[in-house]
Copies of this chain bind each other. A is one copy, B any other.
Amino acid sequence: MNFTERQIEIIDASKDLIGRKGIQNLTIKNLAEKMSFSEPALYRHFKDKTEILKSLLLFHREIIKSGIFKILNSNQSSLEKFQKILKFKFDHIKKNPAIVMIIFSETSFQYSSVLSSIVSKIMKQRSKKIIELLKEGQKNNEIRNDIDPEQLATIIMGGIRKTILNWKLEGFKSDLNLEGEKLWITIEKLIKK
């Protein structure tokens, strides 16, 4: 996961293309055009297109992972941690709409298998973290004890995704951070003791 400067430029350009018109807008032609060089030049920096997409995903996973890691290992109540994680996520998504496009595309093209396996892996890891945090909160008597943490995680993650999806379907016009705050208020009411 050590990228050259040029590779990062290409990843950024890919992000931009996807963020504008979805993953189907990421073609070698468009990417080369955006980079202001010829199509074959891309292959000096990445083996193939899948490798570009993969790099884009892994690059972002690292950012989110370290952000969440910091929150989880901080000195706050579980509910506060939850709030911070939500805020962090919505913030990051707002700045990187490309991620939304990828996360909600899943199926796309021939590289779908590579992509969806990475996406589903990331989702599983996140789910695990949330379940741990819920259990911690239940131990600390902050969160209701009568509910299965796994189901709760499904609902919370589902709520986050749905909020993001609504934002996308409205053409990214609404204030995602505000929607995130509203979501948190509801979630907190539902889960706290």
Q: Are A107 and B101 in contact (CB under 8 A)?
A: yes
Total copies of the chain? 2
Contact of A158 among B21, B158, B191 (CB under 8 A): B158
User: Taking the nearest CB of chain B, how far is it from the CB of A190, in angstroms?
Assistant: 5
Q: Are A151 and B185 in contact (CB under 8 A)?
A: yes
Contact of A24 among B109, B158, B161, B189 (CB under 8 A): B109
One digit per residue, 1 when the CB lies within 8 angstroms of any chain B CB and 0 when it does not, for chain A 149-176 equals 0011011111111110110010000000
Please measure, in the bound complex, the distance between the C-alpha atom of A106 and the C-alpha atom of B25, giving whole angstroms: 12
Q: Are A189 and B108 in contact (CB under 8 A)?
A: no
Q: What residues of chain B lie closer than 8 Å to A128, measured between beta carbons?
A: none
Q: What residues of chain B lie closer than 8 Å to A189, measured between beta carbons?
A: 146-147
Please measure, in the bound complex, the distance between the C-alpha atom of A154 and the C-alpha atom of B161, giving whole angstroms: 9
Q: A155-B156, A155-B190 are in contact. List 9 more A-B contacts (CB 8 A).
A: A22-B106, A22-B112, A24-B109, A157-B158, A158-B158, A158-B159, A158-B163, A159-B159, A161-B161
- Which A residues are closer than 8 A to B by beta carbons? 21-25, 101, 104-110, 112, 116, 120, 123, 146-148, 151-152, 154-163, 165-166, 169, 182-183, 185-187, 189-191
Task: List 17 A–B pairs whose Cβ atoms lie within 8 Å, in order of A's numbering.
Answer: A21-B109, A22-B106, A22-B107, A23-B106, A24-B108, A25-B109, A101-B107, A104-B106, A104-B107, A105-B107, A148-B186, A151-B186, A155-B156, A155-B187, A158-B160, A161-B162, A190-B191
